[in-house]
A and B are shown apart, each in its own frame.
Chain A
Amino acid sequence: TQLLEQSPQFLSIQEGENLTVYCNSSSVFSSLQWYRQEPGEGPVLLVTVVTGGEVKKLKRLTFQFGDARKDSSLHITAAQPGDTGLYLCAGARQTGANNLFFGTGTRLTVIP
């Protein structure tokens, strides 16, 4: 049973288009993280959101944490080929060692 479900699973868009990736759960998280993974490399942390309703912007990427802290979204404006990769959300249930749960992943391809 996956604690975090991401949608869509695959996404292929043209350069310049906008897109949104969703991360949903029935569980409440103390923090929610987004990672991007490129082929042959490990996931890289993009952002951590910790407050319900929080919105963080990272250049063309906008991250939102749901009011109830159960879901999150990642919006990319004017996608570029360099945005291509696997996007993973991860939720921390509480502080400590083994409380980070990874989502199922969204594989994004941006076509030039």
Chain B
Amino acid sequence: DAGITQSPRHKVTETGTPVTLRCHQTENHRYMYWYRQDPGHGLRLIHYSYGVKDTDKGEVSDGYSVSRSKTEDFLLTLESATSSQTSVYFCAISPDSYYGYTFGSGTRLTVV
């Protein structure tokens, strides 16, 4: 019972196509996050959510959108994928940043 799952784990897509990544939690945590991790850049926040239908931008939000229609699900959409969005994407959940995050296992996305 992982508490947080991401899908898919791997995806290859073509430039210009839309892509949606899903994050599902069973912990009922209020906060959910999407990060990307790239060599030399570390973890960078894309978007986060502080409640159902309540989201905000992170430091690298351009080209990405999110939605949270239920407490347990947080979707990340690349409207028109570009090669610069090739990365490993992590979802994280938290009751409060003070206590730390629980991360998912990641989605490796390749845009060709």
Interface residues of A (CB under 8 A from B): 30-31, 33, 35, 40-45, 48, 50, 88, 90, 92, 94-100, 102-105
The answer to whether A30 touches B98, judged by C-beta atoms less than 8 angstroms apart, is yes
Q: How many residues of B are in contact with the other chain, CB < 8 A?
A: 23
The answer to whether B43 touches A45, judged by C-beta atoms less than 8 angstroms apart, is no
In chain B, residues 29-65, which have Cβ atoms closer than 8 Å to a Cβ of chain A?
Answer: 30-31, 42-43, 45, 48, 50, 56, 58
27 contacts between A and B (CB under 8 A): A30-B98, A31-B98, A31-B99, A40-B106, A41-B105, A42-B90, A42-B105, A43-B43, A43-B103, A44-B103, A45-B102, A48-B98, A48-B99, A48-B100, A90-B101, A95-B97, A96-B50, A96-B96, A96-B97, A98-B45, A98-B48, A99-B97, A100-B100, A100-B101, A103-B42, A104-B42, A105-B42
- Chain A residue at minimal CB-CB distance from B43: A102
Interface residues of B (CB under 8 A from A): 30-31, 42-43, 45, 48, 50, 56, 58, 90, 92, 94, 96-106
- Chain B residue at minimal CB-CB distance from A97: B50
A60 to B7, CA, bound (A): 35
A90 to B42, CA, bound (A): 12
Nearest Cβ on chain A to B87's Cβ, whole angstroms: 14
- Chain A residue at minimal CB-CB distance from B45: A98
Chain B residues whose CB sits within 8 angstroms of the CB of A50 once the complex forms: 98
A41 to B50, CA, bound (A): 24
